[in-house]
Amino acid sequence: MNYYYITGTSRGIGKAFAEHLLENPSNYVIGMSRQCSIEHSNYKHFYLDLTDVNAVTDFKFELHSHPQKIYLINNVGSLGFIKPIGKLDAATIIKNYTLNLIAPSLLTNAFIKTYNTTDAEKVIVNISSGAAKSPIDGWALYCSSKAGLDMFSRVIDAEQKVRANHPEDNIHKPFKIFSIAPGVVDTNMQMEIRSASKQDFSRLDDFIGYNLNNQLADTKTIAEKYFRILLNFDSLPNVSFSIKDYE
């Protein structure tokens, strides 16, 4: 059996990931979010607020009997309020960094600790963004937290390669990790962007245009592209990239 832990399965890309995986009876999906919108015999849901550090810290990954694959997909992310620095309150900053960077870091740490000696294909997929590489006004928290997630992923990849070069530590398979940007996708986040104030966000018209010109990819297509790319993850040259690089 293959086990997939996915954050944010109640809607958007996270839900599309889960539904795509559940088409295969060999896959079992464990979803983590504040709401549940999936009913399936191979789906288990944990009601988890990923802005609650204590709740995330208390989450426990399960030990599975003879798994073939175990994946962690850190999908949840939020722009938060689209406003320039100086117009945000402290609680908003803390909440946004917790959701976008601290929660996936905590889950990844626990995931590696739990399955360190498990002999299976072990993959961590962080959902990145083009915003990790491009400063966008009004998006300081999102850009910086996604950039942090990219670097976090690159460091773990380096650590796993060091481990692979020490036979005494390489009894079991090391972990693979990727931070992959999906491009512009038709999700609630895009609606939030289009409702922003132009005074706080100079690129508002660009994002309104993506919608009007049908440039937003649907979540089902994006989910299929992610797993098509990951079928050959050993051949991927970089840890951090966009799915557009493989189209």
Task: Give the number of C-alpha atoms closer than 13 A to the C-alpha of residue 9, restricted to the C-beta side.
Answer: 27
Residues 179 and 68: beta-carbon distance below 8 Å: no
Render the burial of 162-194: b for 16+ CB within 10 Å, e for the rest.
eeeeeeeeeeeebbbbbbbbbebbbbebbeebb
Angle subtended at Cα 62 by Cα 46 and Cα 28, rounded to the nearest 5 degrees: 70
Please give the positions annotated as active site.
142
